[in-house]
Structure 1
Amino acid sequence: MSVLFGSIMLYSVANFLTGYVTSVDQYALARFIAGIGLAGELGAGITLVSELLPKNKRGVGTSLVAGIGLFGAVFAYFTYKFTNDWRLCYKIGGVLGVGLLLLRISVAESGMYQEVKDLNVKRGNLLMFFNNGTRFRKYIMAVLIGLPTWYVIGILVNLSNRFATELYGANNVDSGRAVMFAYVGIAVGDILIGFVSQYFQSRKKALYLFYALTIISGILFFSAFNSNDGRMYAICAALGFSTGFWAIFVTMGAEQFGTNLRATAATTIPNIVRGGLFLMNLLFKDLFQDSWGWPLLRSGVTTGIIVMAITLIAAFFTQETYGKELNYVEK
């Protein structure tokens, strides 16, 4: 709970202060602080929900947490369109964060974690992921299964206007609007995948289904079917939906480890995946386009093939965690 409290506090204060910045440096500092706050909030929340709910309801609970939270990006788009004042948008975000903070104070601490606090075991030691071969392998696999999310958002959707130019010429695609459609899809997918996981009684089968949808949506993105702005937005929404496995991916990361490392895994794994966008961009732009002189479409397709291949291999070697008992510690 202390991680959640601190994360939301940092994010709320930084958001509110961003509405009053007077220089680029101040803006960068405020966004940096907000990023630190946001980085810990989702993982800690997923961990808390996982430990509080019965094991046969964990997937649905964590999906609702992540899916509803992702609708925030959609509301942010419409808030800006309605106010047309970016400073006011940040102030609104800060006030909403304070409201969330007040709600989180009433949430009970996990009983599992309370028990671990009374034991003589190391808690939150990041080095424990690297000093044991089995734990290290599980940790790396948990990171790699989430890569397609940021390939889709960070490359395909973010550069949708440029891809549209290459695919069908003159266009009026707004990347911000494309991101909004993608996040609608992600939020819906994140909520639905929890129920899909419950139906299959398997985290991995649900992931494989959404990976297949990601591949199909990616093929449509680069095909002749993507021939106008309306279809581009629709495909961005489909790509978002198909990569709406963020909740299950983070939940699987939490379920892989004992109570003394669970929150550390759930907070670091998604942030390493976010950082993976930097490496994907190095591959996509710096190597394929700048060094090798490949065109945009070829670079995008090749990067996607590499990312999906790595992810599918990692998913195959990832442990199934549906219904796993979480009341244990790592030694």
Structure 2
Amino acid sequence: ATGLGGVLFGVIADAIGRKRGLMLDIALYSVATGLTALSRNLWEVALFRFIAGLGIGGEWGLGMAILNEVWPPETRGSMVGLTQAGWPIGMAIASADAALVMSRFGWRAGFAVAILPIVLLVVVRGKMPESRLWLEYKRAKESGELPPELSEKAGWLTLRQLFHRDLIGRTLKGLALASLGMFAFYTLWSWAPAYLETVKGMSMVRSATFVGASWLIGWFGHVLFGVIADRIGRRPTFTIYAAMFAASVLGLTAAGPGLTGFVALAANTFACGFFSVYGALFGELFPTRVRATGASLCYNGARGVSFAAPVVLGYVAGVAGFNAGLLVAVVAVLLAAALIWTVPETKGVRLEAIG
């Protein structure tokens, strides 16, 4: 659902505007999540979770399109990194919701709380301006002022434009880059608690403590990625973080259940800051006419691919052991580090309304 929602809302935002698209997106996932609390059976739970997934998938691409178009290019990576750092914070809030609300008042109350983001609609509607770049492109399109090479494409669905010869290379490389990064992440983290308990011999409480505490370190990794990327570029920063990710996975396989294990895990969450590259890079790779769709397709399409990661790890672990299975994550992230050098460096790129 998140993959489908990402593409759907990307197309919507490129068609009717970033602001209206984001308002529709927030309303959809907030209401659907709230309605989950009123579900009468598992079928209704599944339906409302699917609908919420559509909205959740759409928010990332819309948010990154807006951010890229309004923020100065000199510090765009830093702002994307700070925004992406909301991910570990969100994980902490969700854990708190489960521990404090669901444990006391039941699962329905936990889902009911999740309707609160709809308050953001008031802020978005009243305070957030529409993207100037999108408005300029819309005006040029409606007045027939687009260059001849773009006027025909302007009538195409944005998804079709992404696979035209001028953009298909960037689309496929962006999708592959995000897929490899997410595949590496989910290979490790979908099995992390089980790995710590079965291979490292940790108790459930100790495992949960290690994971929760390590993600506090992850916040700094996301923020610093953007700062560094604005200084030395998207590609070298991603390569450094990918190398840290690979080294931390190898370190985790060799570490014990004590301090060394926590250090390896914390180093990995810091290295997961490489996710901060996607928001800036994808926004800078695609022109305004397809920016929301392009960013959403690459990021959320990769989510669909990454669903195979736990299955692959489970198979390899069953054949050769857990540690061997984790090497899949190492291979995936190093392939991503090599692939990013085939993508243009976009540090400091000034975005134009028409291009």
The two structures have a TM-score, normalised by structure 2, of: 0.82
**Are the aligned partners of 2:238 and 2:337 in contact in 1 as well (CA < 8 Å)?**
no
Give the Cα–Cα distance (whole angstroms) in 1 for the partners of residues 43 and 171 of structure 2: 35
Length, aligned pairs only: 321
Q: What CA deviation, in whole Å up to 9, does each residue of 1:162-212 have, x standing for no partner?
A: 322453336325776665445434433222211111232x11122122112
Percentage identity across paired residues of the two chains: 21
**Are the aligned partners of 1:185 and 1:244 in contact in 2 as well (CA < 8 Å)?**
no
Aligned pair 1:4/2:22, yes or no? yes
Residue 171 of structure 1 aligns with which residue?
Answer: 203
Shift of 1:110: 0.8
Residue 163 of structure 2 aligns with which residue?
Answer: 130
Aligned pair 1:324/2:349, yes or no? yes
**Are the aligned partners of 1:124 and 1:260 in contact in 2 as well (CA < 8 Å)?**
no
**Are the aligned partners of 1:164 and 1:173 in contact in 2 as well (CA < 8 Å)?**
no
Q: What CA deviation, in whole Å up to 9, does each residue of 1:207-252 have, x standing for no partner?
A: 12211211121111211x2x21665455333222201122321220
Give the Cα–Cα distance (whole angstroms) in 1 for the partners of residues 215 and 53 of structure 2: 18
**Are the aligned partners of 1:172 and 1:229 in contact in 2 as well (CA < 8 Å)?**
no
Report 1:31-180 matches (<5 A): 31-83=49-101, 84=103, 85-95=106-116, 97-105=117-125, 106-120=127-141, 121=151, 122=154, 125-132=158-165, 134-147=166-179, 149-169=181-201, 171-172=203-204, 180=212
Shift in CA distance, 269/159, structure 1 to aligned 2, threshold 3 Å? same
Amino acid aligned to 2:326: G
Unaligned runs of 5+ in 2: 1-18, 142-150
Amino acid aligned to 1:32: F
35-44 vs 144-153, greater mean Cα deviation: 144-153
Determine helix, strand or coil for the equivalent of 2:140: coil
**Correspondent of 1:269 among 298, 301, 312:** 298
**Correspondent of 1:203 among 226, 234, 254:** 234
Residue 256 of structure 1 aligns with which residue?
Answer: 285
236-245 vs 40-49, greater mean Cα deviation: 236-245
Shift of 1:21: 1.9
Shift in CA distance, 274/175, structure 1 to aligned 2, threshold 3 Å? farther
Give the Cα–Cα distance (whole angstroms) in 1 for the partners of residues 174 and 206 of structure 2: 33
Residue 306 of structure 1 aligns with which residue?
Answer: 331
Give the Cα–Cα distance (whole angstroms) in 1 for the partners of residues 50 and 259 of structure 2: 35
**Correspondent of 1:15 among 27, 33, 37:** 33
Counting helix residues as a fraction of each chain, which structure ranks higher? 2
The two structures have a TM-score, normalised by structure 1, of: 0.87
Determine helix, strand or coil for the equivalent of 2:73: coil
Amino acid aligned to 2:130: E
| Alignment RMSD | 2.4
Give the Cα–Cα distance (whole angstroms) in 2 for the partners of residues 178 and 37 of structure 1: 31
State the structure with bigger RCO (CA 8 A, min sep 6), 1 or 2: 2
Q: What CA deviation, in whole Å up to 9, does each residue of 1:109-162 have, x standing for no partner?
A: 111100111233427611222221x52221222223334553454232221233
Give the Cα–Cα distance (whole angstroms) in 2 for the partners of residues 253 and 246 of structure 1: 12
**Are the aligned partners of 1:15 and 1:90 in contact in 2 as well (CA < 8 Å)?**
yes
Shift in CA distance, 138/262, structure 1 to aligned 2, threshold 3 Å? same
39-48 vs 147-156, greater mean Cα deviation: 147-156
